[in-house]
């Protein structure tokens, strides 16, 4: 693992520390978990945006319908 330096405002840092204490995780583990979740959300949003753009460009084409139906389950995991 690599060490990085990031800055937080005091309120956010207090919230991270409070959660870290109650869950017995390190500050770094809390930030990693949060960042992984955020990145996954961004990937899903980008997939959805691509799908919407494609539907707008070619509304009658449903060639990727199976991919979309499978992707609907991503956000439920």
**Range with lowest mean pLDDT among 2-6, 18-22, 33-37, 52-56:** 52-56
Q: What is the pTM of this model?
A: 0.66
Residue 75 confidence (pLDDT): 54
Q: How many CB atoms are closer than 10 A to CB 54?
A: 14
Instruction: State how far the alpha carbon of 25 is from the alpha carbons of 14, 20, 70, in Å.
Output: 14, 5, 33
d(CA 62, CA 11): 47
pLDDT digits (tens, 9 = 90+) for 55-72: 777 766 666 666 666 665
């Amino acid at each position: 693992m690599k060490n990085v330096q990031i800055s937080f405002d005091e309120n956010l840092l207090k919230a991270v520390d409070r959660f870290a204490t109650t869950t017995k995780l390190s500050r770094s583990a809390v930030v990693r978990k949060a960042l992984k979740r955020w990145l996954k959300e961004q990937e899903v949003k980008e997939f959805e945006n691509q799908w919407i753009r494609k539907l707008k460009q070619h509304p009658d084409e449903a060639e990727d319908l199976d991919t979309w139906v499978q992707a609907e389950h991503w956000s439920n995991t």
